[in-house]
Amino acid sequence: MTQDQQQKLQQIRHSLAHLTVAAAKSLWPGTCNAIGPAIDDGFYQDFDFGTHTISEKDFPKLEKRMREILKHWKPFKEWEVSVEEARKMFANNPYKLELIEDFATKGQKITVNDPGNFLDLCRGGHSDNPKEDMKHFKLLSTAGAYWRGDEKKKMLTRIYGTAFFTDEDLQKHLTMLEEAKKRDHRKLGVELDLFTFSDLVGPGLPLWTPRGTLIRNLLNDFVWELRRARGYERVTIPHITKKDLYEKSGHWDKFKNELFRITTREEHVFAMKPMNCPHHIQIFKRQPHSYREMPQRYTETTMVYRDEQTGELSGLSRVRCITQDDAHVFCRQSQIKDEFLKVWDIIDAFYKAVGFSVLDVRLSLHDPKHFEKYLGTPELWKEAEGSLRAIATERAKQFTEAPGEAAFYGPKVDFMAHDSIGRQWQVATIQLDINMPERFDLTCVNEKGENERIVMIHAAIMGSIERFVSVLIEHHAGAFPTWLAPVQVQVLPVSTKHDRSAKKLTKLLLEAGIRVHCDDANETVGYKIRKAEKQKVPYMLVIGDKEAKLTKLAVRLRGQQKTKDMMVKKFVERVTKEIEKRK
């Protein structure tokens, strides 16, 4: 879609949040609405239903009333009101009154809107033709949400919905959502025994099983293999730091409310690290560097910690402990292009191996209208963004630009993957940082013996390993490529008299470097096959009378009903080649 189309769709979705309120208030008098924004794939609206309990069972009735009301709606009228007028208009809604007081304190204008016998508090951005534009919608789900994300405030009922320009697009999206339910990593992660959560440990803190840890390690080892070939060196840093480090870097002012803080017995304030770059800077600063030593490339896979709101946590997608495959390159201006392209090569190789052969490229820039959100000067940003634009123009077939999506310290190139059911995910990122070197006075000694200001490149291939694994699970529906599968081959003896041959074959495969499991439970072979299929094992080997001599195997491939006869040597060569080639 064009930007104009995207904006129009967002306005339609936001308008439908208002329509949801109008219908809910007519069905359940006394209902109070809070906020209702458009989001990436739809909209939501928060409600206080009082003594009523609303669930998805009420959606048909609510949608019917929405369509009845929509017939009478006209283009939204929007106008500005005084604080006193707003207080009178929304005297019975404590949530609107709280927002009004906030606007008044900040000196912001207060606007209301009305599409036809329904008044609401809103800054604007609505449908120009409600009757036609807003027809293709669907309410999807409910959830609990604390008012303003504050756990100390009341829990509200959040209703999610979606809308599109056409019914065809809506139906496609609903079909995708049904498929997404089957692929939900929270469900599959448990079924495949990859991770678990514990109430005693706490929400947002996943515990990885042996199988899940194996996948994490395979992914991380591959990233390290690619980085090592390009001159990176591993470093290690502690998990806590004095707040002074983040004050100097600028992170404290930006993120102090998202940090886990620690006060020592001596009243010193520390924080669980929410990022690694300031620490790696201290390693670089330990000694002077000649231009001959540049660039310096540091990498580390380590956890960082963010105090996320409990209501915003979601499986592996949003957690409080985030494992980053982090890297920082300290280089000269003249080396930026080469170092960016090295990382780009790593990203291309890695994502091809995990099943994303095509990545969209997004150049994330600062928002010049809100420069207060960023470090540095407009001149520094212009120079940095120009450098990245030139690199993207040369390397990418095409790319989009996204003002406002930059990190607060510099612009970046983001890589977007489309999964197997069409959803887009932001995955890898390469960021150019011209501000941290200024704040920490990072230099190298150049050919003239002078201190020359350097730049930093931040690079994450998976970013958050937790989030990336959630994407990977859903992309493959848990059926990982052979090289990533926790169990690559399941050996299935038909009966106990075949156990000896099955165990001999298992040993042979283990010695060939294949991850194999022998299911010698006293169960029917049909049941064993169903268990292996549920575990998404790539290969199943049924060992009966014909296969007991281990000359020819009956090979069952994942997702196929029929077995294929294959010589043992040929089978081993096939599987080991898939592992070696990462297929």
The string of pLDDT tens digits covering residues 548-560 is: 999 899 999 999 9
What integer pLDDT is reported at residue 312 of this predicted model?
81
pTM (2 decimals)? Answer: 0.86
Q: What DSSP assignment string belongs to 401-429?
A: EEET-SBTTB-EEEEEEE-TTS-EEEEEE
- Residue 508, pLDDT > 90, answer yes
Of 13, 46, 173, 277, the catalytic one is 277
Residue type at position 492: L
Please name the residue that has the structure tokens 């803080």.
Answer: 261
Among 458, 475, 498, 517, the active-site one is 458
Range in 10-24, 349-363, 368-382, 526-540 the model is least confident about: 368-382
**Which domains are seen in the chain, by residue range?**
3-183 (3.30.980.10), 197-237+275-476 (3.30.930.10), 489-580 (3.40.50.800)
The DSSP string of 322-360 is EEEEEEEEEE-GGGHHHHHHHHHHHHHHHHHHTT---EE
CA 464/CA 81 separation, integer angstroms:
45
3 state SS of 478: coil
pLDDT at 311 over 80: no
Helix (H, G, I), strand (E, B) or coil at 463: strand
Q: Which value, to the nearest 10 degrees, does the dihedral of the CA atoms of residues 10, 13, 18, 21 take?
A: -150
Structure tokens at 51: 């003594």
Of 52, 306, 531, 558, catalytic? 306
Q: Any catalytic annotation for residue 321?
A: no
- Residue 185 a catalytic site member: no
In the predicted structure, residue 40 carries a pLDDT above the cut 90: no
pLDDT, average across residues 387-408: 90
Q: CA–CA separation, 115 vs 77, rounded Å? A: 6
- Average pLDDT, whole number, for the chain? 94
Q: Per the structure block, which two tokens stand in for 404? A: 């406002």
Asked if pLDDT for residue 203 goes beyond 90, the answer is yes
Predicted confidence at residue 368, as pLDDT, reads 85
Question: Cβ contacts of residue 133 below 8 Å, gap of 6+?
Answer: 8, 12, 15, 127, 165
Measured distance between the N- and C-terminal CA atoms of the chain, rounded to whole angstroms: 34
Mean pLDDT of 219-239: 98
DSSP type of residue 256: G
| Catalytic entry in 14, 320, 412, 423 | 412
Q: Does residue 328 have an active-site annotation?
A: yes
Q: Which of the pair, 152 or 83, is modelled with greater confidence? A: 83
Residue 389, classified by CB atoms within 10 Å of its CB into exposed (0-12), middle (13-18) or buried (19+), is middle
The catalytic residue among 158, 216, 328, 423 is: 328
Q: Looking at 48, 120, 133, 326, which residue is catalytic?
A: 326
Q: Three-class SS of residue 238?
A: coil
DSSP assignment letter at 172:
H
326 is catalytic: yes
Residue 370 known to be catalytic: no
**Closest by alpha carbon to 33, among 128, 59, 19?**
19
- Clarify whether 498 is annotated catalytic: no
- Can 458 be counted among the known catalytic residues? yes
